[in-house]
Chain A
Amino acid sequence: MIRERLVGWQHAFDHRVTVWITAGVAALLVLACAAVLLLSATGFVRPELRRELWKRIASWAVLAPLLLAPVLLGAAWFIAAVAALSLLCYQEYARAMGLFREKLVSALVVLGILFVTLAVADHWYHFFVCTFALFPGIIAVVPIFQDRPQGYIQRVALGIFGFMLFGVCLGHLGYMANDWHYRPAVLTVLLCTELNDVFAFCCGKSIGGPKLAPNTSPNKTISGSVGAVVLTTALAATLGHFVWQDTRLDHPLPLLAFGLIVSVVGQLGDLTLSSLKRDLGIKDMASVLPGHGGLLDRFNSLLFVSPAVFHFVGYFLGWGTNLPTRILSGP
C-alpha cells in the first residue's frame, strides 16, 4: 500500500478528474498554439505580441509536463518535486533579497526545507509541525555564534520569512501527497491557481477599469480580480464536487468556500510577491522561464493557497488519515 502510493504510477489515472485535467491541459496547449497560428495568419496580432505569446506558450509546453509528471508518477516523485521547487524558490528569493551573501542563514534555511521534506516523506504530521517552530528558533540562535550583531535582525528575519514561505507554506502542498487520492486534489489546486492568473489577466485586459493596487502591481485591475474570483470559484467548485464526491465536503457551501479560497488567497500570494519586488525595485525575480520571469513569478499564488486548502480540506476530511504514518522513521 505504501509502495503503491509512493511510486505506483499504474494508479495515475484511477480518478476521472485526473484524466480530465491531464487531457484538458494537453488540449489547452494545442488550442493555444492553434489560436496563435490563426491570429498570425489573419494578421490580427502585431509581430511583437506574437513573439511574446509564443514565448509564453513555449514556457508552458515545458512547464506543464514538468508539473504533471511528478503528480501522476507517484507521491515520492511529487514530494521530491515540491522540495526542489521550495529550494529553487528560496534561491531566487535569497538572490533578490541579498540574503544569499549570508551563507550561514541560507544554509540553515536549506536545512529547514530538507527537514520539512523529510517529515512530509515520512508522513509524520507531528514532526512536520515541529519544524515550523524549531527552525525559526534555529535560524535565530545559530547566527549568534558569529558574534556579529550588525544586521542580525535583517538576516534572521529574512531567513525565517524565507523558511516560512518556501519551507512551511509550500511544504503543505507536498504533504497532500500523503493522501491516497492526492492526484485529483493536487491537480485541481494547481490548475485552478494557475488559471486564476490567466483569468485575471484576460478579464482585466478585456474589461479594464480602475487599478487594484497601482503602487504594488500597476497592471492589476479590480475587474480582473473580480472576474478571476467568479471564474475560478466556479471552476474549482465544479472540479471539487467530482474530487470529493459523496463526502462531507460535497455540499454547495463548502465547495463554494473552497473555490473562493483558491482564488482570493491565490491573488493575495501574487500581491505579496509584488510587494517584495516593488520594495526591492526589481521587475522579475529571475529569468528562468522566458515570458514569465522566475519560478517565483509563476508560483507566487501557490504559496498561501497550499496551506489554506490543506487546512480547509483537512478540517472536513483530513489528509491520509486512514494510511500508515511514520513510514520511514516508525517502528
Chain B
Amino acid sequence: MTGPEFHYEPAHDLGLPPVERARSLRREAGLVETFGHWIWGRFVRVYFAGWHRLAVKGRSRVPAAPPFVLVANHSSHLDALALSTLVRAKWCDRIFPIAAGDTFFETPARAIFAALMLNALPMWRRSAGRHALAALRERLVGEPCAYILFPEGTRSRTGEMGPFRPGLGMLVAGTPVPVVPCLLEGAWRAFPPGAAFPRPRKLRLFVGEPMTFEGEADERAGWERISEKVESAVRALGKE
C-alpha cells in the first residue's frame, strides 16, 4: 500500500532486535502487527460507542487518506484512542499516535504492546530532540502516514488546556500536510490522571477544518506561529 508501484525496498527496521524495533521511529508493520492494529481498532470502536457513547461532530472533515496530523487537547489516556476512531480501518497501519517514550516504551513488554496494538511511535520527553522530529517529519511526508499528536506535551492535571509547544510546527512547516484541530470534551472527567479505570462518562469529539502551513517558514518563528494558530483553532472548537 506504499503507492501504486512495487519497490524492492527492505523494511526500514530490518535487522533490529524485537524491542529495539518496537521503539524505532522507522518501524513498519508486518502481517502480525496489521492484525493486532486491526483487532485493537475494532475493540476501541466498540468500547467508545458502548462505554462512553462517543459523539463526533465534523467527521467528514478528516482527510480521506494520509498524510495528515490530528491534533487535540490532552487530558487523559483515552484521548489518542478516541481520535483514532476518526480514521478508517484500512489505514490502521498508517496512523501513529505519538506517545511519551517514558510511559509507553520504557519496559520491553510495554514497548511491544505499544507497537503491536496501539501502533504508537515514541517521543522521549527528556531528549525530544530535533533529530527525532526530523525523522517523524520525513516519514509523515515520505510514506505518507498520519499522526495523532498532543502539542501540550503532557496530560492536563486540571482539565484546562495548556499552551501548545512548537514541536507540531517542526513537523508540518513548509509542507502541504493538513493539520486537523480536534477537541475532546469529557475525557478529563471520565479518566483523569491518577484514576485506575475510566468511568462511563459521555464523550464529545469536535473536528475542525484542516489547516495547511505550506507557506510557513521552517524555523522557530514559523513553528511558534503554527502552534498558536492551531491552538486557537482548537480553543475555538469549544465555543462553536
A positions within 8 Å CB-CB of B: 91, 94-98, 100-103, 106-107, 110, 148, 150-151, 154-155, 279-280, 282, 284, 286-287
Contact = CB atoms under 8 A, between A and B. Distances in A.
Nearest to B6: A151
Contact of B31 (A97, A110, A150): A110
Interface in B1-45: 1-2, 4-11, 14-17, 28, 30-31, 34
Q: Which 4 A-B pairs have the closest CB atoms?
A: A151-B6, A154-B6, A150-B4, A95-B11
Contacts of B14: 95-96, 282, 286
Given A148-B4, A151-B4, A100 B11 contact: yes
B126 to A, nearest CB: 27
B225 to A, nearest CB: 36
Given A100-B11, A100-B31, A102-B6, 13 more contacts: A94-B30, A97-B10, A98-B6, A101-B1, A101-B28, A103-B31, A103-B34, A107-B31, A151-B6, A282-B10, A282-B14, A286-B14, A287-B15
A292 to B, nearest CB: 13
A91 to B, nearest CB: 7
Nearest to A98: B9
A155 B31 contact: no
Interface residues of B, number: 18
Contacts of B5: 150-151
A100 B15 contact: no
Contacts of A284: 15
Given A101-B28, A107-B31, A287 B6 contact: no
A166 to B, nearest CB: 14
A167 to B, nearest CB: 15
Judged by DSSP, the binding face of A is: helix
A279 B8 CA distance: 9
B16 to A, nearest CB: 7
Contacts of A148: 4
B1 A286 contact: no
Judged by DSSP, the binding face of B is: loop
Contact of B11 (A98, A102, A106, A151): A98
Contact of A98 (B10, B17, B31, B34): B10
12 contacts: A94-B30, A96-B14, A100-B28, A102-B6, A103-B31, A103-B34, A148-B4, A151-B4, A154-B8, A282-B10, A284-B15, A287-B16
A95 B12 CA distance: 9
Nearest to B10: A96
A331 B5 CA distance: 48
A107 B38 CA distance: 14
Nearest to B29: A100
A92 to B, nearest CB: 9
Q: Which of A106, A151, A282 has the most CB of B within 10 A?
A: A151
A162 to B, nearest CB: 13
Contacts of B11: 95-96, 98, 100
Nearest to A107: B31
A97 B8 contact: yes
Given A101-B1, A286-B15, A155 B6 contact: yes
A98 B6 CA distance: 8
A8 B72 CA distance: 60
A191 to B, nearest CB: 29
Nearest to B31: A106
Q: Which of A95, A107, A148, A280 has the most CB of B within 10 A?
A: A95
A108 to B, nearest CB: 11
Contacts of A100: 11, 28, 30-31
A95 B31 CA distance: 10
Nearest to B33: A100
B226 to A, nearest CB: 31
Contacts of A107: 31
A212 B211 CA distance: 60
B19 to A, nearest CB: 13
Contacts of B17: 287
A154 B16 CA distance: 26
Contacts of A282: 10, 14
A95 B1 contact: no
B15 to A, nearest CB: 5
A282 B30 CA distance: 19
Contact of B30 (A95, A150, A154, A287): A95
Contacts of A94: 30
Nearest to A288: B17
